[in-house]
Amino acid sequence: MEKIKGGLETVKGYSFSSLECGIRYDNRLDYTIISADNFCNAAGVFTTNKIYAAPVKICRERINNSIKAIIINSTNANACTGSKGYENAAAITRDISEKLDVKPENILMASTGIIGRQLPLEKMIKSHNRLIKGLSSANGDSVARAIMTTDTVPKYCAVKFTCAQKEYTMAGVAKGSGMIAPDMATLLSFIITDAPVSKEDLNRIFKEKIETTYNSITIDGDTSTNDTAIILAPISDEPLKNDSDIKNFSQALEFLLSDLAEKLMFDGEGVSKVVKINVSSARNKKDANLIAKSVSRSLLVKTAIFGNDPNWGRIACAAGYSGAEIEEDLLTIMIEDKALFKKGETLDVNYTDLEEILKRNSYSINIDIGLGSGHSSIFTSDLSYEYVKINAEYST
Amino acid sequence: MEKIKGGLETVKGYSFSSLECGIRYDNRLDYTIISADNFCNAAGVFTTNKIYAAPVKICRERINNSIKAIIINSTNANACTGSKGYENAAAITRDISEKLDVKPENILMASTGIIGRQLPLEKMIKSHNRLIKGLSSANGDSVARAIMTTDTVPKYCAVKFTCAQKEYTMAGVAKGSGMIAPDMATLLSFIITDAPVSKEDLNRIFKEKIETTYNSITIDGDTSTNDTAIILAPISDEPLKNDSDIKNFSQALEFLLSDLAEKLMFDGEGVSKVVKINVSSARNKKDANLIAKSVSRSLLVKTAIFGNDPNWGRIACAAGYSGAEIEEDLLTIMIEDKALFKKGETLDVNYTDLEEILKRNSYSINIDIGLGSGHSSIFTSDLSYEYVKINAEYST
């Protein structure tokens, strides 16, 4: 497996088109389509939020169908828009399906942007001829740009890998937004490949790899109304089957998702540092998750990270109120390999050594609970002035 | 019942003393004592954090004893300090008890400040003669000042009330810090009264009134390592007993705690606005709490409050990922009495009317779930540049 230059355009069998539809703003790329030359198997992971957008409903209904295209808009989430929002999404996918000469159920949709506003249906339908006309296998980079909201850079990645002596390609795009862990890191991500994989394998592998990549940055249950990750792979009579091929495919997918997850984190709103919270030896997996989540969400921890402050007391405190079993006498807190608090004892640490680590744009906080074998890792970010600025000013 | 001027010094039967001990900083009032002329009944509510400070352990062990004095220090939390931290707290209370000619178990202690550092025991013990010598019934205001950390103003309140034709007084002090809801609003509060109340009544009423006041701003379970609220009332052979007296006492306590809670909120770090999140018609009380907590914690909601942005989509989203049962079609979101989203429909709202409310330093967000009869209210604050500044720079 090898990382290659470029994005979606490196994968054979797909074409792309994007345009400035004027959905919410003029002169902004806000509408895009990924179209497969032939029908694809699809797998998807969607928000667990009980309030979810109309396009998520559409995707949930259709994800097991044979898929021809995904249509995506930014600047309007089509969430909290009731039955009219759903009808609009259905009308858009119906019109696209007619123009691609397939059925509506072969089209998926995703949206991101402001909540609670209806899509400008007429304007969007009107743009479809132009959108379809623009389809080209060379337009992959425009998809990464059209799905951006407060993202500062387009995020894409492509890899080559070999299965049964044949070379395949896989590429993906992603948009983040919001802060990385916690709260609503509205995530859209679309992965395409020319490797034929059965629906069952695709579904299983995608869910497994999302868990250790995107779901370790957005944190289960704290997802936005629109979070959507979809993978497309061509339907074939002879899908990749044997263990080593499936393994190569899985590795390529994991590499791709990890790469995009890292890009999402570093492009988080106002993020200047990304810190990995590793919890080990918790009573069990659930407790490890509770602690990692609690520490990664703590505003006091996040502001300390921003301020280069090795304030392990805030870490201990957030671990203590996480709800997990924890005993002060067994607890150890380290920044990278430097222990600050070891089994209940505060250690004298050379601040100069620590400072070198704290000033990095990425490091790990390692929390050993000393009670069992549960472990969990979550990436979090600092809380900066910039974050407040972006989120106080964005929107309505 | 009537609010009166002044603080602790208005209550007969107690004396106070504070000094600059130099616990962490020079020239800072950081050590104080509340001493009762006669033994008191006490009731206390303490942090639910599994990592809790040595003085909290001391208080838990002694709260049911007859209490003579409470000794309090700021600038050092004596948390995560292991057995030595506990021995230090025990030694301090032992020395104070000797100087007051009572037993160690008659003395309570509370601390606030940095986590993970040992108290300067010798220095503190050395100051005790001076501290005890300074005891005066007129020194009440010094207690409110000595317990402050990042608080900008001392917080105190006093009320007069009548039971069985006799006039009594009750007064309290509190220190906040951290942001109001969520995270660690380290809370210390001490209430004294000259009204004799039995240990059982004192305990029951104090816990009940804390629930609707302090616990609605700090949020259950997200307490710091040191949160401590204690009330003292004189032991008497004839405590207040009849229903109307107990009712008057309860009302006075509720008024006092509410007043202090409000002062805590408005003095929260970087707080420019306090917003009450009211959740009604949730499936049950537990769901109502989950939703109120989720919305009040959301960084996106808090930055929207800071930015005067009526971004109800962020409110819907935070309610949706709270874990509570929720249906978009039944959900209504209002700012004060102005509905923005009503049973699944986005409403057109005159932004000028809204702006007038959003610019206030206090208003309510009302969320009707439409599913049952559970309700819950939590006060939250905005997330400002100032908060990030204070918490990135405070500490280590």
pLDDT tens string A57-81: 999 999 999 999 999 999 999 999 9
As a dihedral over the C-alpha atoms of residue A366, residue A370, residue A374, residue A378, rounded to 10 degrees, the angle is -20
Chain A residues touching residue B81 (CB < 8 angstroms): 346
**Record: contact B346-A80, CB cut-off 8 A:** yes
Q: How near does any CA of chain B get to the CA of A60, in Å?
A: 17
- What is the spatial distance between Cα A259 and Cα A262, in angstroms, rounded to a whole number? 5
Pairing of strands A332-335, A362-368: antiparallel
**In the predicted structure, residue A265 carries a pLDDT above the cut 90:** no
Nearest-neighbour CA in chain B from A357: distance (Å): 16
Chain A residues close to B328, C-beta within 8 Å: 51, 80, 82
* B-chain residues near A395 (CB < 8 A): 304, 309, 311, 313
The H or E element that residue A356 is part of is helix A351-358
For B227, nearest residue in chain A (alpha carbons): A317
All structural domains of chain A with their residue ranges: 2-266, 274-393
The pTM score is: 0.80
Burial (0-12, 13-18, 19+ Cβ within 10 Å), B95: buried
Residue B281 confidence (pLDDT): 98
Q: What is the mean pLDDT of chain A?
A: 91
Answer with the residue of higher pLDDT: A386 or B395.
A386
Is A303 in CB contact (< 8 Å) with chain B? yes
> What string of DSSP letters covers B24-62?
SSSSS--EEEEEEEEEEEEEEEE---SS--HHHHHHHHH
Phi, psi of A203 (to 5 degrees): -65, -50
Residue A338 near residue A262 (C-beta atoms within 8 A) = no
pLDDT of residue A180: 46
Single-letter amino acid code for the residue at A189: S
Q: Which residue of B has its CA nearest to A117?
A: B346
- Point out the catalytic residue in the list B32, B75, B186, B223: B186
A220 contacts on B by Cβ (under 8 Å): none
* Residue A164 touches chain B, beta carbons under 8 Å: no
Label the pairing between strands A31-46 and A67-73: antiparallel
Per-residue pLDDT of chain B (396 residues), as tens digits, is 999 999 999 999 999 999 999 999 999 999 999 999 999 999 999 998 899 999 999 999 999 999 999 999 999 999 999 999 999 999 999 999 999 999 999 999 999 988 899 999 999 999 999 999 999 999 999 999 999 988 889 999 999 999 988 999 999 999 986 554 434 457 899 999 999 999 999 999 999 999 878 877 754 446 789 999 999 999 999 999 999 999 999 999 999 999 998 888 888 777 888 899 999 999 999 999 999 988 988 888 888 898 898 889 889 999 998 999 999 999 999 999 999 999 988 898 888 889 999 999 899 999 999 999 999 988 888 877 777 776 666 554
Q: Do B116 and A312 touch (CB under 8 A)?
A: yes
Chain B 183-222, residues with CB within 8 Å of chain A CB atoms: 183-184, 221-222
Nearest C-alpha of chain A: how many angstroms from B267?
17
Helix (H) or strand (E) holding A162: strand A155-163
DSSP code of residue A42:
E
Is the pLDDT at A272 greater than 90, yes or no? no
A314/B115 CB distance under 8 A: yes
Averaged pLDDT, A324-351: 93
Q: Is B81 touching A (CB cutoff 8 A)? A: yes
Q: Which amino acid is at A54?
A: A
Substitution target in A24, A49, A50 with the highest count of B β-carbons within 10 Å is A50
Pairing of strands B362-368, B374-381: unpaired
A340-349 per-position pLDDT tens digit: 999 988 898 8
b/e A338-367 (16+ beta carbons within 10 angstroms → b) = ebbbeebbbeebeeeebeebbeeeebbbbb
pLDDT for A221 beyond 70: no
The answer to whether the CB atoms of B341 and A385 lie below 8 A apart is no
Are residues B299 and A299, on separate chains, in Cβ contact within 8 Å?
yes
Q: How many C-beta atoms surround the C-beta of residue A250 within 10 A?
A: 18
User: Over the range B122-143, which residues count as b (16 or more CB within 10 Å of their CB) and which as e?
Assistant: eebbebbeebbebbebebbbbb
Q: Do domains B2-266 and B274-393 have the same CATH topology?
A: no
Residues 43-62 on B with a CB inside 8 Å of A are: 48-52
pLDDT of residue A220 exceeding 60, the answer is: no
The class level of CATH for A274-393 reads alpha beta
- Helix (H) / strand (E) containing B183: none
Kindly give, in sequence order, each residue whose CB lies less than 8 Å from that of residue A292, ignoring residues fewer than 6 positions away. A277, A278, A279, A367, A376, A377, A378
Residue A383 confidence class, pLDDT cut points 50, 70, 90: confident
Phi–psi pair at A45, nearest 5 degrees = -125, 130
Residues of A in contact with B300 (CB under 8 A): 178, 183-184, 391
- Which of A300, A325, A385 has its CB closest to that of B183? A300
Q: How far is residue B116's CA from residue A332's CA, in Å, rounded to a whole number?
A: 12
Query: Which band of pLDDT confidence, cut at 50, 70 and 90, is reported for residue A219?
Result: very low
Q: Which residues of A touch B391 (CB under 8 A)?
A: 299-300, 303-304, 307
What number is the average pLDDT over the span A303-310?
89
- pLDDT tier, A394 (very low <50, low <70, confident <90, very high otherwise): low
Q: Which residues of B touch A396 (CB under 8 A)?
A: 309-311
The question of whether B186 is a catalytic residue gets the answer yes
Task: Tell me the average pLDDT across A371-383.
Answer: 90
Residues of A catalogued as catalytic = 186
Q: Identify the pLDDT of residue B150.
A: 80
pLDDT confidence of residue A19:
97
Residue A109 confidence (pLDDT) above 80: yes
CATH class of B2-266: alpha beta
Around Cβ A200, how many Cβ atoms within 10 Å?
A: 11
Mean pLDDT across A90-118: 96
User: Do the Cβ atoms of A265 and B356 come closer than 8 Å?
Assistant: no
What is the per-residue pLDDT across A155-167, written as a single tens digit (0 to 9) for each?
A: 999 999 999 889 9
- Is residue A374 predicted with pLDDT exceeding 70? yes
Chain B 317-376, CB below 8 Å of chain A: which residues? 317-321, 323-329, 331, 340-341, 344-346
What are the DSSP calls for B316-349, one per residue? HHHHHTSSS---GGG-EEEETTEEEEETTEEPP-
HSE-up of B224 (CA within 13 Å, CB side)? 34
